[in-house]
Chains A and B, each alone.
Chain A
Amino acid sequence: MKRLIAPFILFCVFLAPAFAQESPDALVKTVTLEVVDLIAKDKEIKSGNRAKLVEVIEQKVLPHFNFTAMTALAMGQNWGKATPEQKKLLAEQFKTLLVRTYASALAAYSEQKFDFRPLRAKPTDTDVTVNVRVLQPGAQAVTIDYSMEKTANGWKVYDVMVGGVSLVANYRTEFANTVRNSGIDGLIKDLSAKNKSLEKGAKK
């Protein structure tokens, strides 16, 4: 038995970077199927335990997202005007909001089938779009496009497009309006108020 441990550790050491460099489309597929499978098997989540669902998302999905990049894109020009402290708070609040939205979308999921499209990119590309289609009878398939960037820690998602609607782009006008009316601190306040009200709603 002991003789096996060393090769096993070596195996793990070699495997870790291999996973980090997993191709972006394979990563999306693995994570999607894993999460969907977890949800399908978990009785608590199925009966509406939102906190548990958020936990699953935080563990399985969040590590593959770059929230700072997402927040920067949603902020546009205003990002440069924010202090490091404000940037941190913004990214945190935006993350909470997106995770909650994502949880709602997943909770509405009802065993649709996925069609993972082959990646159309060169191996040297560092910025790619991974396409997934959610198939449903009697309606046009819903496309989900993940914009992903290669980083030192593997591929990270910086935008998600659902049915052609970019999540990041969709927050741009809202963010710009709020910043114009009440400044960056006003936006942070609005976001955290929104998150608090959603949390209260979920507990009811």
Chain B
Amino acid sequence: MPRVLRLLLLLLLGALGGCASSGEERDPRDPFEGFNRGIYRFNDEVDTWVARPVATVYKKALHPEIRSRVGNFFSNFQDIFIGVNNFLQGKFADGVNDWARFAFNSTFGLLGIHDVASEWGLEKHNEDFGQTFGRWGAPSGPYLVLPFLGSSTVRDGVGTGFDYYFAPLGEVRPINLRNTLYGVYLVNTRADLLDASRILEEAALDRYVFQRDAFLQRRQSLIYDGNPPREKLE
């Protein structure tokens, strides 16, 4: 973990250096745009040459039903810390709901591969540490594009650090098994997003801007569980 943090710090310093030089009018939410665009291009190359081709083959090879079971398996582990975050935000009923989901899905759902809890009316939630910090009043800070991970902000980047640190998947031993699980998780997740990323490409004039604005709107909505204070468009 410290190594990752050190790398992040270095990248941030690099960004600050880069930002002093160019003089274009920039978005106040994205002061490091020049630097972020650099990372964005890097991520895009990785995605084009590695992640997307692998995910495409994976999607073609496996029946949707199987992919959905794989997704459920990972989704089940996440419910533990989704619950923790709901408790941290004072949403106790939601937290109990999330832990009940984990209990039912791990047992009746055969290690999570069947999402029986949803069928029984226990809804899946979307929470993470970044949202908890936001709920506690932490401002998002500047927009950041993280290497490999993509869109984030200073607050959500710190949150993601916590998410990974506590991720139950990280506790899996032996290391080989853990790494395999991580690999399957990443490929399965990317495969789920193939349609969405194609739509994004079609819809956007400038993909970087479109993705950034969508991410920032989405996070704001998630922090307020879908009911953010509405900014009226004029």
A positions within 8 Å CB-CB of B: 73, 76, 97, 100-101, 104-105, 108, 110, 135, 137-141, 143, 159, 163-166, 168-174, 177-178, 180, 190-191, 194, 198
Q: Which of B125, B209, B222 has the most CB of A within 10 A?
A: B209
Chain A residue nearest to B220 (CB atoms) is A164
Question: B199 to A169, Cβ gap below 8 A?
Answer: no
Q: Is the CB of B217 within 8 A of A100?
A: no
B: contact size bracket: 35 or more
Q: Are A170 and B210 interface neighbours, CB within 8 A?
A: yes
Q: Which listed residue (B75, B198, B226) contacts A104, Cβ 8 A?
A: B198
Residues in B lying within 8 Å of A, measured CB to CB: 25, 27, 64, 68, 71-72, 75, 115, 118-119, 123-126, 195-196, 198-199, 202-206, 209-210, 213-214, 217-218, 220-222, 226, 228, 231, 233-234
In the assembled complex, the Cα of A137 lies from the Cα of B213 at a distance in Å of: 27
Nearest opposing residue in chain A for B234, CB measure? A76
Structural contact, A177 and B206, CB atoms closer than 8 A: yes
20 A–B contacts from the bound complex (CB under 8 Å)? A73-B234, A76-B233, A76-B234, A97-B203, A101-B199, A101-B203, A104-B202, A104-B203, A105-B199, A138-B75, A139-B71, A140-B123, A140-B125, A164-B228, A165-B214, A166-B217, A170-B213, A174-B209, A177-B209, A191-B205
Given contacts A104-B198, A169-B213, list 14 more A-B pairs with CB under 8 A.
Answer: A97-B203, A104-B203, A108-B199, A138-B68, A138-B72, A139-B71, A140-B123, A163-B221, A164-B220, A165-B214, A169-B217, A172-B213, A173-B213, A174-B213
Chain B proximity of A102: nearest CB distance (Å): 9
A164-B233 in contact (CB<8A): no
The winner among B203, B221, B234 for most chain A CB atoms within 10 A is B203
Q: Tell me how far the C-beta of B94 lies from the nearest C-beta in chain A, rounded to whole angstroms.
A: 12
Taking the nearest CB of chain B, how far is it from the CB of A123, in angstroms? Answer: 21
Known: A169-B233, A174-B205. A139 touches B75 (CB 8 A): yes
- Please give the distance in Å from B121's CB to the nearest CB on chain A: 12
Residues on A with C-beta less than 8 A from B233 are: 73, 76, 159, 166, 168-169
A contact residues around B64 at 8 Å (CB): 110
Q: Which 6 A-B pairs have the closest CB atoms?
A: A164-B221, A108-B195, A138-B72, A101-B203, A140-B126, A165-B217
Compute the total of residue contacts between A and B using a CB distance below 8 Å: 86
Known pairs A168-B233, A170-B213, A170-B214; A190 contacts B27 (CB<8 A)? no
- Give complex CA distance A97, B202 in Å: 8
Residues of A within 8 A of B217 (CB): 164-166, 169-170
In the docked arrangement, what's the CA distance between A159 and B232, Å? 12
B195 partner residues in chain A, CB cutoff 8 A: 104, 108
Q: DSSP class of B's interface residues: helix, strand, loop or mixed?
A: helix
Which of B115, B202, B213 is within 8 Å of A198, CB to CB?
B202
Nearest CB of A to B74, in Å: 9
A110 CA / B64 CA spacing, docked (Å) = 10
Whether the Cβ atoms of B209 and A173 lie closer than 8 Å is yes
A137 with B115: CB separation less than 8 A: yes
How many Å lie between the Cα of A138 and that of B125 in the bound state?
10
Residues of chain A with a CB closer than 8 A to B115's CB? 137-138
| B196 contacts across to A, CB distance below 8 A | 108
Q: Measured between C-beta atoms, what is the minimum distance from A74 to chain B in Å?
A: 9
C-alpha spacing A24/B27, complex, angstroms: 36
A190 and B115 alpha carbons, distance in the complex (Å): 45
Q: How distant is the Cα of A100 from the Cα of B151 in the complex, in angstroms? A: 25
B214 proximity list for chain A (CB < 8 A): 165, 170
Complex Cα gap A174–B214 (Å): 12
List the B residue with the shortest CB-CB distance to A201.
Answer: B202
The smallest C-beta distance from B11 to any residue of chain A, in angstroms, reads: 24
User: Of A100, A139, A159, A164, which is within 8 A of B218 by CB?
Assistant: A164
Bound together, the chains give a CA A159 to CA B206 distance in angstroms of 20
Task: Flag if A141 contacts B205 (CB, 8 Å).
Answer: no
Does B25 lie within 8 Å of A180, measured CB to CB? yes
Bound Cα distance A150, B209 (Å): 32
Does the CB pair A104–B199 fall under 8 Å? Answer: yes
